Amino acid sequence: EAFLRDFNIKYKVFGLFFRDTRQKNTQALFDLEMTAAKRLDIVQSISVKDYCEGPIDDSLYWIASLWVFGKKYKDQEIYIKISMGPKDDPAICISFHRAEHPMKYPLKSNHE
């Protein structure tokens, strides 16, 4: 909950950078017929119940912990990995693509 609160504040101040250089991320927009604006809406709508995993150490850049969330879009489960990013820079959406495996939501009730 604290992470999402801080993440939302940070991207409103510094913006949100999407790793569009990753083929999997850009292909997801095409496959899902999704605009970049809709992708932003989905990331902005992440809530505690969408939590799957984290914090995870960032073993590539060692900048900030990574957090994984999942959302449904057009009956597809979307895997979303986000990070606070470097201080005084945009927050980062590292991954945004169809889930490759079923995702677990430890904070979601069985009725959702």
pLDDT in tens, 49-76: 999 999 998 777 667 899 999 999 999 9
**Whole-number Å distance between alpha carbons of 69 and 74:** 17
In whole angstroms, how far apart are CA 29 and each of 64, 71, 76? 26, 14, 12
> pLDDT for 14-42, tens place per residue?
999 998 887 888 899 999 999 999 999 99
pLDDT-derived band at 112 (thresholds 50, 70, 90) equals low
Element (H, E) at 67: strand 66-73
**Whole-number Å distance between alpha carbons of 15 and 89:** 8
**Whole-number Å distance between alpha carbons of 59 and 109:** 31
Q: What is the pLDDT of residue 109?
A: 77
- The token pair at 58 is 């960032």
Collapsed DSSP state (helix, strand, coil) of residue 40: helix
Element (H, E) at 28: helix 23-31
Average pLDDT over residues 105-111: 79
Output the average pLDDT for the chain: 91
- Would the pLDDT of 111 be above 60? no
- Model confidence, pTM: 0.91
**Whole-number Å distance between alpha carbons of 53 and 64:** 15
Adjacent-strand bridge partners of 16: 91
**What residue ranges define each of the domains in the chain, with the CATH number in brackets?**
2-98 (3.30.2310.40)
